[in-house]
Amino acid sequence: MSRLKGRRIALGVTGSISAYKAAEVVRGLVQENADVRVVMTREAGAFVGAVTFSALTAHPVAIEQFPEAGASGEEHIDLAVWADAVAIVPATANIIGKMANGLGDDLLSTVMLACEAPCCLAPAMNFRMWRNEAVQANLERLRSRGVHVIEPEFGMLANGEMGEGRLAAPDRIVEAIAILADPDPDLAGCNVLVSAGPTEEDIDPVRCVTNRSSGKMGFAVARAAARRGASVTLVSGPTSLQDPYGVTVEHVRSADEMHEAVLRNREGQDAVIMAAAVADYRPGVQGRRKMKKSDERLTLEMTRTADILKEVAADRPPVLVGFAAETHDGLDFARGKRAEKDLDLVVYNDITMEGAGFGTDTNIVTLIHRDGREETLPKQAKSGVADRIMDEVAALLRNREGVPA
């Protein structure tokens, strides 16, 4: 279950051409069962209709500070007190300026004056406005007051020009809001290292040996840790996934590169979670030139790669979690892996099951604990599985003394 469930999010929408993307942000939050209320400026109404937001949130949209009838005139206070977190998506230079200087001349800016909840902004504007000294000074002022700024991206702007100032992608904004709104950031101050994805072992410059890992499970784990306030480093093999918001990502290709990156980042980690599907063997010789076909049969000689998890286990962090993806006799193999490497937790999945394993958005896993407990979780989204894994990691870190050094 998403940790956004039941969280009360006030979402401000201001007048930018990217205002329509706020609808996608709202949908992302609602899909995770957050309770969202939208406050629009009048200018936002020129770009997107209030009905869109009221339909998505099942709440009326607030626009006017002094509505004609049927309202108390205290909406700005009511909303500010109601919200667990506030986000302005998109945020124009105008609302940024008003917030930085304590001005309130419409409903949204007065809500922001009254708001004591954590707040984030996703700016969107032409690159000339974005680099304007006054805008940057206003943003700096807001950052120093603890407002989180979701940096805009470089890309094509409203007038077709390329530059910095494009609204961040909606799913990244949802992620940033989720981090801000977490009711219990129980991994705040913790460092978490996650490995994810497949590896690619070159045969020659155009061919490689790899596996079908999509990286989705490891990325979900990294995201879940970041949502709980951890400082997360993700070492990932090649995937088609976007880097998760708020996570430091190191991209690698081969098992050797993953080995080097994991060991280099190991120092100071409170928890290491190895979700990568690392090649156990790589071609003994990697040709510098493309191999030409000749005989009917071809034998590739393979040599062992380093067992990264085993090496991390030899100098173990406070919490160490491994994965076991198996096709047969899996539970026994998984129990064996847990014991052999003295892991706190093994996340076992039978990749032959429908809705489990590589490439899917769901997984069916059994958690095998150090104390012998075994829990099979119902089939669910990988984000849900990741959250359960982080529940265990957080609990283990709380009882750190109980974990062998």
Q: How far apart are CA 211 and CA 140, in angstroms?
A: 45
- Asked if 307 interacts with ligand CTP (CB under 6 A), we say yes
By C-beta, is 82 or 333 nearer to ligand CTP?
A: 333
Closest separation in Å from C-beta 113 to ligand CTP: 50
Catalytic-role residue among 101, 211, 265, 399:
211
276 is a contact residue toward ligand CTP (CB under 6 A): yes
Query: Applying CB under 6 A, what is the total number of residues that bind ligand CTP?
Result: 16
DSSP SS3 for 262:
helix
Beta strand 362-363 with 366-369 is unpaired
Nearer to ligand CTP, 64 or 280 (CB): 280
R_g over Cα of the chain: 24
Contacts with ligand CTP in 72-111 (CB under 6 A)? none
399 tagged catalytic: no
Query: Minimal CA–CA distance to 61: which of 43, 47, 49, 74?
Result: 49
Contact 15, 96 (CB under 8 A): no
Phi, psi angles (nearest 5°) of residue 64: -90, 140
Q: Which is nearer to ligand CTP, 99 or 255 (CB)?
A: 255
Measured between alpha carbons, how far is 79 from 67 in angstroms, rounded to an integer?
A: 15
| The residue to which tokens 């899909």 are assigned | 31
Choose, by CB under 6 A, the member of 322, 330, 357, 384 that binds ligand CTP: 322
Cβ closest to ligand CTP, residue 173 vs residue 386: 386
Terminal Cα distance for the chain, rounded? 32
Interstrand relation of 85-91 and 119-123 (parallel, antiparallel or unpaired): parallel
- Which is nearer to ligand CTP, 4 or 334 (by Cβ)? 334
Min separation Cβ 191 and ligand CTP, Å: 19
Binding span for ligand CTP by CB under 6 A among 94-102, 142-150, 235-243, 305-313: 305-313
**Contact between 308 and ligand CTP (CB under 6 A)?**
yes
62 binds ligand CTP (CB under 6 A): no
Instruction: Give CA–CA dist 241/256, Å, rounded.
Output: 21
Nearer to ligand CTP, 20 or 333 (CB): 333
Query: How many Å apart are CA 293 and CA 306, to the nearest integer?
Result: 30
Q: Is 272 in the site for ligand CTP (CB under 6 A)?
A: no
Instruction: Please identify, using beta-carbon distances, which residue of 180 and 279 lies nearer to ligand CTP.
Output: 279
Q: Is 348 in the site for ligand CTP (CB under 6 A)?
A: no
The answer to whether the CB of 394 falls within 8 A of the CB of 403 is no
Is there binding between residue 319 and ligand CTP (CB under 6 A)?
Answer: no
The pair of structure tokens assigned to 226 is: 């970041």
Q: Which of the ranges 12-20, 37-45, 271-279, 353-361 carries the binding residues for ligand CTP, by CB under 6 A?
A: 271-279
Residue (109 or 305) nearer to ligand CTP, CB: 305
Name residues contacting ligand CTP, limited to 207-266 (CB under 6 A).
255
Alpha-helix residue ranges (DSSP H) falling in 72-215: 75-82, 93-101, 107-114, 127-130, 133-144, 170-181
Structure-derived torsion over alpha carbons of residues 66, 67, 71, 72, reported in degrees to the nearest 10: 10
Among 323, 366, 368, 396, binds ligand CTP (CB under 6 A): 323
Q: Helices (H) and strands (E) in the chain — how many of each?
A: 13, 21
DSSP, residue by residue, 226-251: HHTT-EEEEEE-S-SPPPPTTEEEEE
Read off the DSSP letter of residue 363: E
Helices 21-31, 170-181: inter-axial angle, 10-degree rounding: 50
Query: Of the candidates 40, 324, 351, 389, which one interacts with ligand CTP according to CB under 6 A?
Result: 324
Using CB under 6 A as the binding rule, the residues of this chain from 171 to 210 that contact ligand CTP are: 195
From 39, 122, 271, 274, residue interacting with ligand CTP (rule: CB under 6 A): 274
Part in contact with ligand CTP (CB under 6 A); list of ranges 51-59, 104-112, 321-329, 397-405: 321-329
**Cβ at position 325, least distance to ligand CTP in Å:** 5
Q: Helix (H, G, I), strand (E, B), or coil: what is residue 100?
A: helix
Q: Where on the chain is the footprint of ligand CTP (CB under 6 A)?
A: 195, 255, 274, 276, 278, 280, 305, 307-309, 322-325, 333, 337
By annotation, the residues acting in catalysis are 211
